[in-house]
Amino acid sequence: MPTTSPNAPLKPFSAIVFDMDGTLLDTEMVFKEIVWDVSTELGFTMTDSLHHSIVGSSHETTNRLLIEAYGVSFPYTIFDDKCRTLMRARMAVSVPVKAGVHEILKELKAARIPTAVATSSRSAHALGHLGHAGLLDSFAAVVTRDDVTNPKPHPEPYLRATQLLGVDPAHAIAVEDSHSGVRAAHAAGLQTIMVPDIVAPSDEISALCVAVMDSLHVLRDHAFPRG
């Protein structure tokens, strides 16, 4: 997986907005297994390329992509209901957190730098998972699919998040793991950093980022350099 650090220190920032699934929560691999299982149960064959295209996408975009791939006979409502039910059951056991999340949030709190979440997930999903993971109180704002008219890759989620934090988008960092999210953050004018999870960055996506980093630990080291 190609990773690049910024050639110069990160520009000064006064807030950070994080994506949720695959960035804060280590849920994308869990969801991948569920998507494969449900697709097979319904008589359809999921592929890596199709799965990658729906990572980070909104409900509406996922619906469209699956209908385009499988035809109008694809039972999206049933697919979606089964996936949500299985995901709720898995997350009721535990919500895995990505490496470096607690460390960078502790650093940001100590520096009094406000944070927010901008996710394509619905409110119940987002607030429930963040709460169960013990992270919800770390964020001054959580922007979900239910809070915007236009989901990612439209910039509205990031513009809304920075508005709620009271900061200029140019003075905020966005942290993303998906192509859709990177496009949204860049279009909103945030200093965009990709920390890839399942999907690697293309040349186009890398060009929209100030850096592509291996982990949130690496981001913390760049955001709060020692010595």
pLDDT single digits (tens) 30-73: 888 999 999 999 999 999 999 888 887 888 889 999 999 999 99
pLDDT computed for residue 8 by the predictor: 57
**Which amino acid type is present at position 42?**
L
pLDDT computed for residue 65 by the predictor: 93
Contact 152, 181 (CB under 8 A): yes
* pLDDT beneath 70: ranges in the chain: 1-8, 227
pLDDT computed for residue 214 by the predictor: 94
pLDDT computed for residue 217 by the predictor: 96
Per-residue model confidence as pLDDT tens digits over 200-214:
999 999 999 999 999
pLDDT computed for residue 32 by the predictor: 87
How many CA atoms does the CB half-sphere of 171 hold within 13 Å? 10
pLDDT computed for residue 118 by the predictor: 98
pTM over 0.95: no
Instruction: Return the DSSP state at 200.
Output: P
Contact 189, 36 (CB under 8 A): no
pLDDT computed for residue 4 by the predictor: 60
Contact 193, 13 (CB under 8 A): no
Q: How far apart are CA 152 and CA 142, in angstroms?
A: 15
Instruction: Tell whether the torsion through CA atoms of 141, 65, 212 and 29 is positive or negative.
Output: positive
Q: How far apart are CA 6 and CA 213, in angstroms?
A: 9
pLDDT computed for residue 1 by the predictor: 40
pLDDT computed for residue 6 by the predictor: 62
pLDDT computed for residue 87 by the predictor: 85
